[in-house]
């Protein structure tokens, strides 16, 4: 088992906690797929001389194509459909207002909601980072019973609040200035690159917050529970006997038992 402050050996095949956190909380492919409909909207809008309807059709058509491909590749239907629903709602908003910049309004509102949700979860001591990672690792509430890990998730969750705040400020400023092309560029830059930086930053905070010798996010340490030995006996070697199984030493006394 690789601890938080240990380096993996050359023959270790178990992924590190940093790799696990990155795979759980962010994916380059999903981020690119989420950005492509936005690019299609801007291309359709630009080539048609500013026709929002053409841009919306282009975004929805590409969104449907990506959804079909993702389902074919075995992605979870709920996640795929939610992504497609987001593209459809963004297109409807832009069609209703006639402003290309409003295609990004849903993105701004979702980041505001996410920032509030993460902040509230930290304040009530139910950090979303712990809830999400613990759920995906099928740990249930075990991580909350580990004081050190719970505290680490509490601190690292602020990194994710910061991510949403960056997007809110940048997207909000460009939206108020009615700059749809700049919004599209910002969307691309602040999707996967920002998520990758956020994963790295939150992992650094987690690592710094956990005490030396802690086994990491995959192995919560619950006070009072018996720990599983980290070094199993070699093949053919008999494990040490428990206290109940060990022979008792003969009793030395002045009188013999009768």
Query: Is residue 248 a part of any domain in this protein?
Result: no
Query: Is residue 254 a part of any domain in this protein?
Result: no
Residues 108 and 214 in one domain: yes
Instruction: Give the DSSP per-residue string, 175-234.
Output: HHTT-HHHHHHHHHHTTHHHHHHHHHHHHHHHHHHSPTT---TTS---TTSPPPPSSPPP
Among 100-114, 195-209, 217-231, the range scoring the smallest mean pLDDT is: 217-231
Dihedral angle computed from the Cα positions of residues 69, 38, 199 and 70, in that order, rounded to the nearest 10 degrees? -10
- Separation CA 56–CA 127 (nearest Å): 37
Residues 196 and 121 in one domain: yes
Residues 34 and 145 in one domain: no
Please state the rounded mean pLDDT for residues 28-50. Answer: 87
Overall domain count for the chain? 2
Given a contact cutoff of 8 angstroms between Cβ atoms, the answer to whether 181 and 174 are in contact is: no
Quick one: CA dihedral 157, 161, 167, 170, positive or negative? negative
Q: What is the per-residue pLDDT across 229-253, written as a single tens digit (0 to 9) for each?
A: 445 555 544 555 544 444 444 444 4
- Show the domain range for 65: 27-98
Residues 88 and 129 in one domain: no
* pLDDT at position 36 over 80: yes
Residues 81 and 161 in one domain: no
Query: Is residue 3 a part of any domain in this protein?
Result: no
Mean pLDDT of the chain: 81
In terms of Cα–Cα distance, which of 16, 217, 30 is closest to 136?
217
Which is higher by pLDDT, 19 or 31? Answer: 31
pTM of this structure: 0.73
**What are the structure tokens assigned to 1, written together?**
């088992």
């Amino acid at each position: 088992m690789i601890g938080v402050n240990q380096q993996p050996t050359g023959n270790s095949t178990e992924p590190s906690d940093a790799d696990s956190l990155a795979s759980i909380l962010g994916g380059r492919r999903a981020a690119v797929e989420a950005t492509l409909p936005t690019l299609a909207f801007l291309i359709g809008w630009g080539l048609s001389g500013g026709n929002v309807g053409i841009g919306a059709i282009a975004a929805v058509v590409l969104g449907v194509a990506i959804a079909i491909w993702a389902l074919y590749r075995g992605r979870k239907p709920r996640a795929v459909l939610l992504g497609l629903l987001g593209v459809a709602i963004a297109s409807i908003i832009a069609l209703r207002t006639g402003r290309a910049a409003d295609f990004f309004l849903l993105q701004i509102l979702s980041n505001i909601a996410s920032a509030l949700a993460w902040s509230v979860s930290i304040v009530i001591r139910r950090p979303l980072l712990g809830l999400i990672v613990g759920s995906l690792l099928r740990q249930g509430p075990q991580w909350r019973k580990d004081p050190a890990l719970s505290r680490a998730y509490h601190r690292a969750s602020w990194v994710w609040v910061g991510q949403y705040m960056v997007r809110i400020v940048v997207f909000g400023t460009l939206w108020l200035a009615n700059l749809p092309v700049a919004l599209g560029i910002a969307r691309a830059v602040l999707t996967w690159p920002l998520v990758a930086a956020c994963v790295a930053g939150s992992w650094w905070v987690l690592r710094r917050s956990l005490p030396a010798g802690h086994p990491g996010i995959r192995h919560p340490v619950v006070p009072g529970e018996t720990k599983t030995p980290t070094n199993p006996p070699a093949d053919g070697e008999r494990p040490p006997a428990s206290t109940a199984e060990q022979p008792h030493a003969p009793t030395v006394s002045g009188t013999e038992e009768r």
